[in-house]
Chain A
Amino acid sequence: MADDKFKSTETYVATDDLTLAVNAAVTLQRPILIKGEPGTGKTQLALEVASSLRKPLFEWHIKSTTKAQQGLYEYDAVARLRDSQLGDDRVHDISNYIVRGKIWEAFQCDEQPVLLIDEIDKADIEFPNDLLQELDRMEFFVYETKQLVKAAHRPIIIITSNNEKELPDAFLRRCFFHYIKFPDQDTMRSIVDVHFPELKKSLLSEALNAFYKVRDVPGLKKKPSTSELLDWIKLLLAEDIPLEALRTEGTRKIIPPLYGALLKNEQDVHLFEQLVFLDRRSDNSPNS
């Protein structure tokens, strides 16, 4: 059993509490709900769990128009109607027109799969309620064919949410929960190490300093997160920005180069520029 525990991989840094929550969900075969700021690696987690446990992955990405039923199956009435007009023999068997959804596919897998239900909060407010029985008992009923579909192996279900909608209590009770908090400087260092092994230590620490300073600016609508930091470092490397340009400690504070990768909101950029301007003015004023 020792090797089917999830832990940090070469490409993903998982904190102790996250590892334990995932392993609890795997052991008890219950769904796990992952929340956190956008860009902290929620979706990535499912890919990493699947690859590190060597299990097949089924991804179900939720949109605002997704219905719970679509994850189970859909009955293609139009195709059947058309076939009946053309005199196709297939028309006598209704099961020919049942289109399987992601949950059905995962239930039918030969080994235990990982099922990712991505951004469940995007869907209608009743969506989670419609999946209670399916996630709890891991079975559902196909009315058209009077058939009960039961999971051969209870899948490891990973559900992510961006907190756009609150989820119903009855749904939450059935899940494990983990909130990915924003990594501290040390964790962030190891995350960056994993993604850019050859990065110079000096550049990294300067970049991290600048990054956390931007995050600390009060009133930002969207604080830059891990994925933005990684993009920014990628850009810095590509543009070969000199180390000095990143230093914000000097008397004249400057906006970090390529800030567009960090700040994604016009108002934030505006606010940031204002603060920098005020800072600079107070630095330049004669000592009083």
Chain B
Amino acid sequence: MLIPFFYQLREGGMKTSITELLTLLEAMQSGLANDSVDDFYYLSRACLVKDESKLDRFDRIFAAYFKGVDDSLSDLLQDIPEEWLRRQAELHLSDEEKAQIEAMGGFEELMQALQERLDEQDERHEGGSRWIGTAGTSPFGAYGFNPEGVRIGQAGSRNRSAVKVWDRREYRNLDDSLELGTRNIKVALRRLRKFAREGAADQLDLADTIDKTARNAGLLDIRMVPERHNAVKVLLCLDIGGSMDDHVRVCEELFSAASSEFKHLEYFYFHNFVYENFWKDNRRRHAEKIPTLDITHKYASDYKLIFVGDATMSPYEIVYAGGSVEHWNDEPGSVWAQRLLNTYPKAIWLNPEPRQRWDYTPSTKIIRDIMDDRMYPLTVAGLDDGMKALQ
């Protein structure tokens, strides 16, 4: 009976494999989930879901598939919502309004419709008059104007019965649907790895030991070498503020998660384009500036330079002195960018904007020219290309 469920999961975008299904069947055969539907839910979750960001999706598919299988499940559609409604009705509704609800078909009808809409709806919604969300006139949602509105996500905790565990959707916050998986990114970043031997000699160099021992007339002459370490050093310059904020957080997380792939990773922030100063702490950006020249003097030219920014701004900000939106710059940004590129020949620009849109912004074109076309989209494929360019 579980095979349709299995396909339902796969259609729902879960990467459940046959091995995992067989494991579940084996577990059920050994009587692990005979007692209740709860146990079955826990067991199938432990077998089929391997990523906490997929738990919410699993809960939804489970609820949709097993609706009506267990009698107690149908309670869901009657018990709780009626309870909510009654409470709300007592608090807010006049007799007249109550009569209106009756006219709409009564509580049960309303709740049935709610469940159906929940099933249909697949994204967060605000405004409008049909979907469930906030600030609308649909009867379902929060902060709405419909007198018989049902609040969702408020009375949920009062529903203590374990049967409805999967309808509580506790793992909603973990559903990230990030386009770039950290693992993908890391595999892309691994291209950058360059091993070099540095540090204390703590590994036996077998070939050299044999060679030296033979030359030493068979008397042992042990040779040690340092362990191979990743020797890649990276300067990461992130555009921050305005439209970039969302992207920056993603980049920061990914790069810090991948920091084990690099020997040194230094962050610097800039706004829109590079000028004479960078900063490290965005809260104190005006107080603690780091002159660009200090950076080029401090970090040697074997560092690889990665800019992350949407490259969307007025062209004046790049090519004119005084073009910066934040301060008076004596020299145009393009001069500073060129200085950085002279110091760090291995440099790329990662752009979170989709590639199709690049041609429509003149500033993107100018920056691509400055970068010698080394601009890559912030996708797995783009990263891969970018890392090749950095090698």
Q: Which B residues touch A165, using CB under 8 A?
A: 182-183, 186, 257
Shortest distance from the beta carbon of A181 to any chain B beta carbon, whole Å: 6
How many chain A residues have a CB neighbour from B under 8 Å? 35
CB closest residue in chain A, given B257: A164
Shortest distance from the beta carbon of A258 to any chain B beta carbon, whole Å: 26
Indicate with 1 or 0, residue by residue over B17-45, a CB within 8 angstroms of chain A CB atoms.
10110010011001011000011001101
Across the interface, do B27 and A17 meet the contact criterion of CB distance under 8 Å? no
How many chain B residues have a CB neighbour from A under 8 Å? 40
Q: Which A residues touch B39, using CB under 8 A?
A: 20
Across the interface, do B30 and A28 meet the contact criterion of CB distance under 8 Å? yes
Q: Which B residues touch A33, using CB under 8 A?
A: 50
Q: Is A98 an interface residue (CB 8 A)?
A: no
Contacts known (A23-B32, A172-B50); A125 close to B45, Cβ less than 8 A: no
Most B CB within 10 A of own CB, among A27, A85, A177? A177
Q: Which A residues touch B50, using CB under 8 A?
A: 33, 169, 172-173, 175, 177
Q: Which A residues touch B187, using CB under 8 A?
A: 125
Most B CB within 10 A of own CB, among A64, A173, A178? A173
Indicate with 1 or 0, residue by residue over B217-239, a CB within 8 angstroms of chain A CB atoms.
00110100000000000000000
Across the interface, do B220 and A20 meet the contact criterion of CB distance under 8 Å? no
Q: Which A residues touch B257, using CB under 8 A?
A: 164-165
Of the residues A25, A82, A125, A181, contact of B171 by C-beta under 8 Å: A181
Q: Which A residues touch B204, using CB under 8 A?
A: 77-78
Q: Which B residues touch A81, using CB under 8 A?
A: 209, 220, 222
Most B CB within 10 A of own CB, among A20, A28, A32, A164? A20
Q: Is A277 an interface residue (CB 8 A)?
A: no
Q: Which B residues touch A181, using CB under 8 A?
A: 170-171
Q: Is B73 an interface residue (CB 8 A)?
A: no
Q: Which B residues touch A30, using CB under 8 A?
A: 23
Contacts known (A165-B257, A166-B182, A172-B51); A177 close to B46, Cβ less than 8 A: yes
**Interchain CA distance A20-B45 in the complex, whole Å:** 10
Across the interface, do A82 and B43 meet the contact criterion of CB distance under 8 Å? no
Question: How many contacts A-B (CB < 8 Å)?
Answer: 85
Across the interface, do B19 and A173 meet the contact criterion of CB distance under 8 Å? yes
Question: Quick one: which of A177-200 are within 8 Å of B by CB?
Answer: 177-179, 181
Contacts known (A27-B32, A28-B26, A28-B30); A20 close to B46, Cβ less than 8 A: yes
Across the interface, do A24 and B47 meet the contact criterion of CB distance under 8 Å? yes
Across the interface, do A125 and B43 meet the contact criterion of CB distance under 8 Å? no
Q: Which B residues touch A42, using CB under 8 A?
A: none
Q: Is A35 an interface residue (CB 8 A)?
A: yes
Q: Is B49 an interface residue (CB 8 A)?
A: yes
Q: Is A3 an interface residue (CB 8 A)?
A: no
Q: Which A residues touch B38, using CB under 8 A?
A: 16
CB closest residue in chain B, given A270: B283
Of the residues B43, B51, B170, B219, contact of A85 by C-beta under 8 Å: B219
Q: Which A residues touch B46, using CB under 8 A?
A: 17, 20-21, 24-25, 32, 176-178
Q: Is B365 an interface residue (CB 8 A)?
A: no
CB closest residue in chain A, given B41: A17
Q: Is B318 an interface residue (CB 8 A)?
A: no
Q: Is B55 an interface residue (CB 8 A)?
A: yes
Contacts known (A21-B42, A28-B23, A125-B186); A177 close to B49, Cβ less than 8 A: yes
Q: Is B126 an interface residue (CB 8 A)?
A: no
Q: Which A residues touch B45, using CB under 8 A?
A: 17, 21
Question: Quick one: which of A67-86 are within 8 Å of B by CB?
Answer: 77-78, 81-82, 84-85
Across the interface, do A35 and B52 meet the contact criterion of CB distance under 8 Å? yes
Across the interface, do A166 and B183 meet the contact criterion of CB distance under 8 Å? yes
Across the interface, do B206 and A27 meet the contact criterion of CB distance under 8 Å? no
Of the residues A77, A175, A176, contact of B206 by C-beta under 8 Å: A77
Of the residues B19, B181, B190, contact of A125 by C-beta under 8 Å: B190
Indicate with 1 or 0, residue by residue over B258-273, a CB within 8 angstroms of chain A CB atoms.
0010000000000000
Across the interface, do B55 and A179 meet the contact criterion of CB distance under 8 Å? yes
**Interchain CA distance A237-B98 in the complex, whole Å:** 53
Q: Is B388 an interface residue (CB 8 A)?
A: no
Q: Which A residues touch B206, using CB under 8 A?
A: 77
Q: Is B67 an interface residue (CB 8 A)?
A: no
Q: Is B15 an interface residue (CB 8 A)?
A: yes
Q: Which B residues touch A16, using CB under 8 A?
A: 38, 42, 162
Indicate with 1 or 0, residue by residue over B49-93, a CB within 8 angstroms of chain A CB atoms.
111100100000000000000000000000000000000000000
10 extra interface residue pairs, beta carbon distance < 8 Å, beyond A28-B26, A165-B186, A179-B55: A16-B42, A20-B42, A21-B45, A21-B46, A24-B43, A32-B46, A33-B50, A78-B204, A85-B219, A177-B51
**Contact sample, A vs B, 8 pairs, CB 8 Å cutoff:** A16-B162, A24-B47, A27-B27, A166-B181, A169-B15, A174-B19, A177-B46, A179-B55
The 5 closest A-B pairs by CB, nearest first: A166-B183, A172-B50, A21-B46, A179-B52, A17-B42
| Interface of A toward B, CB cutoff 8 Å | 16-17, 20-21, 23-25, 27-28, 30, 32-33, 35, 64, 77-78, 81-82, 84-85, 125, 164-166, 168-169, 172-179, 181
